[in-house]
Amino acid sequence: MKKAVIIGVGMTPVGEHWKTSLRDLAVEALLNAMDDANLDKVDSLYVGNMISGPFVEQENLGALIADWAGLGHIPAVKIEAACASGGAAVQEGAKAVMSGLEDVVAVVGVEKMTDAWPSDATRYLAYASDAEWELFHGASFVALNALVMRYYMHTYGYTEEDLALFAVNAHINGAKNPYAMFKKPIKVETVLRSPYIADPLKLFDASPVCDGAAAVIITTPEKAKELGIPKEKWVEIAGMGRAIDTINLANRKDLLRLKAAEVAAERAYKMAGIEAKDVDLFEVHDAFTIMAALSLEAVGAAERGKGAELAKEGQIAIDGDYPIQTMGGLKSRGHPVGATGVYQTVEAALQLRGEAPNQVPDAEIALTQNIGGTGSNITVTILRRV
Per-residue confidence (pLDDT) for residue 232, from 0 to 100: 95
Contact 178, 358 (CB under 8 A): no
Annotated catalytic residue 17: no
Interstrand relation of 377-385 and 365-372 (parallel, antiparallel or unpaired): antiparallel
Q: Coil, strand, or helix at residue 338?
A: helix
d(Cα 65, Cα 58) in Å, to the nearest integer?
Answer: 11
- From the list 17, 171, 285, 335, the catalytic residue is 335
Which residue, among 145, 206, 51, 166, has the nearest Cα to 375 in the 3D structure?
145
pLDDT of 65: 98
Which of the residues in the chain have pLDDT under 70? Answer: none
**Do β-strands 44-48 and 104-112 pair in parallel, antiparallel, or remain unpaired?**
parallel
Fold of 4-116+210-235: Peroxisomal Thiolase; Chain A, domain 1 (3.40.47)
Q: What one-character DSSP code corresponds to residue 104?
A: E
Q: Residue 346 gets which letter from DSSP?
A: H
83 flagged as catalytic? yes
Do 4-116+210-235 and 118-208+240-381 fold alike per CATH? yes
The residue ranges of DSSP E strands in 220-333, in sequence order, are 235-244, 281-283
Catalytic, out of 83, 171, 210, 285:
83
Query: What top-level class would CATH report for the domain 118-208+240-381?
Result: alpha beta
What is the predicted pLDDT for the residue at 118?
92
pLDDT digits (tens, 9 = 90+) for 312-362: 999 999 999 999 999 999 999 999 999 999 999 999 999 999 999 999 999
pTM: 0.98
What are the extents of the domains in the chain?
A: 4-116+210-235, 118-208+240-381
Chain segment 88-120, per-residue pLDDT in tens? 999 999 999 999 999 999 999 999 999 999 999
- Whether residue 347 contacts residue 327, with contact meaning beta carbons closer than 8 Å, is answered with yes
